[in-house]
Structure 1
Amino acid sequence: MDVKQVPHASETPVTESVSDDAPVSVVNSSDGAPKKKAPIWRRFLGLFWDTWEDDGEENKFTRKLDYILFSYIMLGYFIKYLDQQNYSNAFVSGMQEDLQMYGNERNLLVTYFNIGIIIGTIPSQIVQLQWVRPSIWIPSCELAWSFLVMAMAGAKNPKTLYALRFFVGLLESCSFPGYAALLGSWYGPTQLAKRVALFEQSSAIASMFSGYLQAALYTGMNGKSGLKGWQWLFIFDAIISIPIAVWGYFAIPDHPSTTRAFWLKKKDREYSVQRQANMGRAPASKLTWKKLRKIYTGWYIWAFIFPYLMVAQAGQGSGFFNLWLKTQGYSTALVNTIPTAGNAISVVASLFFGTIADKTGTRAETCILVCGIVIVANIMLSIWNIPRAALLFAFFLSYVSAAAQPLIIAWGQEATQHNVHLRQMLVATGNIFTYTFMAWVPLVAFPTYDAPHYKYGYQLLIMFGGLAVLGVWLFGYLDKWDRKKRAEREEEENDATPAVQTTTV
């Protein structure tokens, strides 16, 4: 077995096997060079963002990733969520009345979108692993769905919207798991959680932006060129999305071992391969049916999916906030803008808990704390008949749920460093289950005609929160058990390997 050991200044050196599924052992050694203590101001800034701590090679390289790759991922997920959720702002801004959507049409818009996501997710990840580089596939899908979003402005009935939403979902299926896999390929275990948190929270920023944009368009563009304010929202969303999609062709560096990114110099590429090996990550390789079968017959992916799915379901409560606001007599502008304060809470909470998890390594404990906060919010919402201020507080508190899923994603990426294909499929498969649940849970638990007070919706979310806590504990237990078994297996292999004697001639 070919084994290569690569020292690194900022990560723990590891011994990496060339096999995708071979165990990775940690070597407790260092390069012996004393590290110069950084100035106090840098160490202080490093508490908030790791690359500010010093100007070492690792931080310089990571800053370059942040400036180009991470900033694109933030923008890419921003437009993804902007184009996914704009229907909600359009619905409360005149689309419901203009298209006569007084039944369950709002939830059906979600259902058709989710069906597209479910059908496209796994095939899209296989395409990226097997045939088309992410730097080509993801931006091409982004361009296509941007034009479909623009076409939604011309819809004359709900059926047209259903069809367009399906194809937007089909194309968007490449992005979220694709972005997560890129982050898991380029960032280390002590860097990942906060970046996944910020990446996910670009969706909250998109929701905030969509709310403010719809409010501005409703007051400033409503009726211009014969179009309503909600129609202008779809057009402006597409105009914003197209240039970001084009930038993706240049910003995505693919995998460290296959990158052709112009902004990575030769020494950067060499460093990225060494760095990847040092973290115990297998290099990119072709996906075979045998490897795919091994992924789905192993325990890792299913133990990951359970908490991933449950935290997503437990956090649905915030999605119905604007419907409650509409019944409270707020203006259309306020109905669109008040929830943006909740989006701000989700951004702050995600960065806060993600930073704690990166600094302390307590993925499970931090995630369980977030789940506990969300359970409290859902208990208050299920009681419902509480003072209006308390109900408002509960809705805002439910936005903290956004901090849970990034922690689980980062944890899953860290736990599966030894298998590049498993790492790519984790979030993709988790998304299929999440969107499958999203396709029916709102229809059953949150029917539009019951809005804003749902009989069983928030009680169901409490159950999901409890199952999320159970799932986090189970994944942590199995991950520790598997690491121990792999370490024992490698120790046995090392003991069985005869020592090589050298002689001097």
Structure 2
Amino acid sequence: MGNDPDLINDHGKQPFKYRLKGYFSPGGFQPGEKKLVQKIDFFILTFCCLSYFLNYLDRSNLNNAYVSGMKEDLDFRGNQLNQINTVFTVGYIIGQVPSNLALYYVKPRIFFPSMMVIWGALTMVTASVQKPQSIMAIRFFQGIAESSTFVGTHYILGSWYTARELGKRSGIFTSSGLAGTMISGFIQTGIHSSLDGKSGLAGWRWLFIIDGLITFPVVIYGFIFFPDTPHTTSAPYLSGAERHLAISRVPEVPAKKPLTWRFLKTVLTSWQWYLFVVLWIIAGETESFSSNALLGLAMKASPTRKYTIAQLNNYPTGVPAVGIISTLFWAALTDFWGGKRYLVAYFIGITGIATSIMILKSRETSVVFAAYYWAGSVYACQATFFAWANDAMRYEDDQLRAVVIASMNMGSNAVNAWWSIVFYGANFAPLFTKGMWAMIAASIAMIFWATLLVFFTSRHEKRRVDEVTRRDISELRYSVDDENAQLQ
């Protein structure tokens, strides 16, 4: 289609309707590529999305349990909920880079499900706790196990998909986590109404048991069907020709090599590591309204209105619902516009400033709810920014790409470990005044940093194209000289 002169306008570009049709047609133009993409879509996305859905379900159930009786049963005091989340974050930080490097040496088909077994078991153990300190210990190790899912999946997606396909898949994957957050509230409501007191257990304890149990069918599915990477796959549903095609679609991956001090120097001197890590640190804090479940905490601490347990669990689900719509919209749109991921940064900056002002200036319940729901749209940065990093590093060393992607999430969580306590502690509810000003500052920083990153990525891409062009010209000249020599 792209070479048909009838489909080219006077400016040398395809008309919009043909670009739109081509965008939504899966696969490329190589024979068998459409079928290959459909297969890897099914087996990779089903496992990764279910895994991330359960990951977020197990993670967000703590806040649901907190507002559903756990606070009173375990006698939570002060900022203990935030302290537990911080301990989880510390474990999550520790596991980031080792987990992504492990995928470079251990088959993902083994590593991903093994981590799921650990975090699923720890979720179930949480049902037996008698004090907040016990949850702190459990969540630390749960954070280490869960650290493999988010950055690991983005590494895998970057290993299988082309730049044209990556944004949509990243968006679908990220939305599955938001669905876990959204559905967790409805699950807790159902469990509380039907199982509270059954076998002598409170409803919030049943939540941890059930969330842990439903993890294990996905574990079995992953052990059997996950396809690893194009260069290591032995999936029975991929033919030999399809495996070769999968390898040809992505840059060549060098042979595995041991970690060295030289590699560490390469990481620490690469502009990608610094700029993308700081980008995600800032982006992580623009998600603070949603990631710290502020709407639920504000409702719980409201001095003027008493909300029911069902309302405390159900009303905040609108935040991740908006996040899902925003994520899918921006992931698809930035793919269609040729990978202009930076547009999301400007949208997030405007959103953060506007919603903070709405909450600071208004005491109307409807306005505050609207601001928190709108703030959920900033979740779009998860899919687009990791796709941006994968795009920018597609032709770099695969180890470096793995470390940069892991370091992005590690850096963000390292800052969020104390940021959430300083600005969004539960004792600051319902207004979170300091947090509103922190959000405005983070949003302004996002706009500035994204602009800086656009400059560096554009310059790097131009340099890479020039290098490829010079190499091609050199190879062509060598071929011509060799042919002339043979003729003489």
Q: Which deviations, in whole Å up to 9, do the C-alpha atoms of 1:48-85 show, x marking residues without a partner?
A: 95429999632221111111111111101111111112
Query: How big is the shift at 1:251?
Result: 3.1
Please give the per-residue CA displacement for 1:336-382, whole angstroms capped at 9, x wherever unaligned.
01111222111111111111101012221243123322321122223
Which stretch of structure 1 is more off in the superposition, 251-260 or 45-54? 45-54
Structure 1: distance between partners of 2:31 and 2:241? 15
1:213 maps to 2:187: yes
Cα separation, 1, equivalents of 2:252 and 2:350: 33
- CA distances 1:291-318 after superposition (whole Å, capped 9, x unpaired): 3431222111111112222111012112
Pair 1:314-2:291 in alignment: no
Equivalent residue number for residue 58 of structure 1 = 33
Instruction: In structure 1, list runs of 5 or more residues that go unmatched.
Output: 1-8, 11-29, 36-41
Q: Identify if the C-alpha distance between structure 1 residues 478 and 236 changes in structure 2 by more than 3 Å, giving closer, same or farther.
A: same
What does residue 14 of structure 2 align with? none
Shift of 1:445: 0.7
Alignment of 1:149 with 2:123, yes or no, is yes
- What's the Cα RMSD here? 2.5
- Rounded Cα–Cα distance in structure 1 between residues aligned with 2:23 and 2:61: 32
1:407 aligns to 2:381 (yes or no): no
Alignment identity in percent?
Answer: 29
Q: Report what 1:298 is aligned to.
A: 270
**Is 1:204 the counterpart of 2:178 in the alignment?**
yes
Give the Å deviation of 1:238: 0.6
Letter in 2 for 1:396: Y
Offset of 1:231 from its aligned partner?
A: 0.2
Shift in alpha-carbon separation, 1:463–1:435, aligned structure 2, 3 A: same
Could you say which residue in structure 2 is the equivalent of 1:78? Answer: 53
| Amino acid in the other structure paired with 1:313 | E
Q: What residue identity is the alignment partner of 1:288?
A: L
Q: Distance in 2 between matches of 1:217 and 1:284?
A: 50
> How many Å separate the matches in 2 of 1:121 and 1:436?
11
Q: CA deviation at 1:247?
A: 1.2
Tell me: CA distance 1:283–1:57, structure 2 relative to 1, closer, same or farther (3 Å): farther
Within 2, Cα distance between the matches of 1:463 and 1:235? 40
2:93 to 118, 130, 133: 118
Find the aligned partners of 1:427 and 1:482 in 2 and give their Cα distance.
18
What are the superposed Cα offsets for residues 312-341 of structure 1, whole Å, 9 maximum, x if unpaired? 101211221111222232210111011112
Q: Identify if the C-alpha distance between structure 1 residues 348 and 297 changes in structure 2 by more than 3 Å, giving closer, same or farther.
A: same
Corresponding position of 1:19: none
What letter is aligned with 1:95? M
Deviation of 1:432 (Å): 0.9
- Number of corresponding residues: 466
Could you list the per-position Cα deviations for residues 132-163 of structure 1 after superposition, in whole angstroms to 9, with x for gaps in the alignment? Answer: 21111111011111001100000011111000
CA distance in 2, matches of 1:46, 1:91: 48
3-state SS of the aligned residue for 2:237?
coil
Check if 1:499 corresponds to 2:471.
Answer: no
Task: Give the aligned residue type for 1:404.
Answer: C
The corresponding residue for 2:417 is 439
Structure 2 residue aligned with 1:249? 223
CA distance, structure 2, for counterparts of residue 71 and residue 187 of structure 1: 15
Question: Residue type of the partner of 2:420?
Answer: P
Answer yes or no: is the 8 Å Cα contact 1:370–1:401 preserved in 2: yes
Equivalent residue in structure 2 for 1:451, among 422, 429, 442: 429
Question: Distance in 2 between the 1:46 and 1:67 partners?
Answer: 22
In 2, Cα distance between the equivalents of 1:93 and 1:48?
Answer: 45
* Matched-pair contact (CA < 8 Å) for 2:95–2:144: yes
Aligned equivalents of 1:272 and 1:34: distance in 2? Answer: 31
**1:232 alignment partner in structure 2:** 206
**Greater helix fraction, Structure 1 or Structure 2:** 2
The residue that corresponds to 2:466 in the other structure is 488
Q: 1:248: how far off?
A: 1.3
* Cα separation, 1, equivalents of 2:241 and 2:63: 47
What residue ranges of structure 2 are gaps of 5+ in the alignment? 8-16
Q: For residues 345-384 of structure 1, what are the structure 2 equivalents within 5 Å?
A: 345-361=322-338, 362-383=340-361
Q: 2: CA distance between counterparts of 1:347 and 1:478?
A: 30
Larger displacement relative to structure 2 (158-167 or 289-298): 289-298
Task: Assess if the C-alpha contact under 8 Å between 1:136 and 1:249 holds in 2.
Answer: yes
One-letter amino acid matched to 1:452:
P
* TM-score of the aligned structures, taking structure 1 as reference length: 0.87
TM-score, structure 2 as length reference: 0.90
Q: Name the CA shift for 1:381/1:251 in 2 (closer, same or farther; >3 Å).
A: farther
Which secondary structure state, in structure 2, belongs to the residue aligned with residue 286 of structure 1?
A: coil
The one-letter code sitting in structure 2 at the alignment partner of 1:377 is T
- Determine if the alignment matches structure 1 residue 96 to structure 2 residue 71: yes
In 2, Cα distance between the equivalents of 1:284 and 1:425? 17
SS at match of 2:164: coil
Q: What's the CA shift for 1:34?
A: 11
Contact in 2 for aligned 1:221/1:229 (Cα 8 Å): yes
Q: Which amino acid aligns with 2:54?
A: I
Range moving further from structure 2, 196-205 or 281-290: 281-290
Q: Give the counterpart of 1:323 among 272, 291, 297.
A: 297
Q: How far apart in 2 are the matches of 1:492 and 1:357?
A: 30
Query: How has the CA–CA distance of structure 1 residues 339 and 52 changed in structure 2, closer, same or farther, with 3 Å as cutoff?
Result: farther
Is this contact kept in 2: 1:45–1:52, CA < 8 A?
A: no
Q: Cα distance 1:410–1:504, how it changes in 2: closer, same or farther (>3 A)?
A: same
**Structure 2 residue 256 is the aligned partner of structure 1 residue 285:** yes
**Other-structure match for 1:275:** 249
Map Cα deviations across residues 83-109 of structure 1 (whole Å, 9 max, x no partner).
112100000000000000021111011
**Whole-angstrom CA distance in 2 between matches of 1:122 and 1:356:** 30
